[in-house]
Amino acid sequence: MSEIITVGPDLAKNVFQVHGADSKGSALLRKQLGRAQALEFFAKLSPCPVAMEACGGAHF
């Protein structure tokens, strides 16, 4: 069975889209999380790199 090795959340004010990929880059997880659900989700996830966007408007 494939294992999630990288998680990429799309950050927003109230809803986060989370994408998890295996070592081949295949999508294993696509999930929409509310702000209140995000902490619980990441706490239960096996340790792995989390790649977040960094753009000029990200600080807003």
Report pLDDT for 35. Answer: 86
Residues 9, 51: Cα–Cα separation, whole Å: 7
Q: What is the pLDDT of residue 10?
A: 87
- 53: exposed, middle or buried (Cβ count in 10 Å: 0-12, 13-18, 19+): exposed
**Number of helices and strands (H, E) in the chain?**
1, 3
Query: Residue 33: enclosing H or E segment and its boundaries?
Result: strand 27-34
pTM over 0.85: no
pLDDT tens by residue, the chain, 60 residues = 589 999 999 887 788 899 999 999 999 999 999 988 988 999 999 999 999 877 666 565
Question: For the chain, what's the residue count?
Answer: 60
**pLDDT recorded at residue 11:** 80
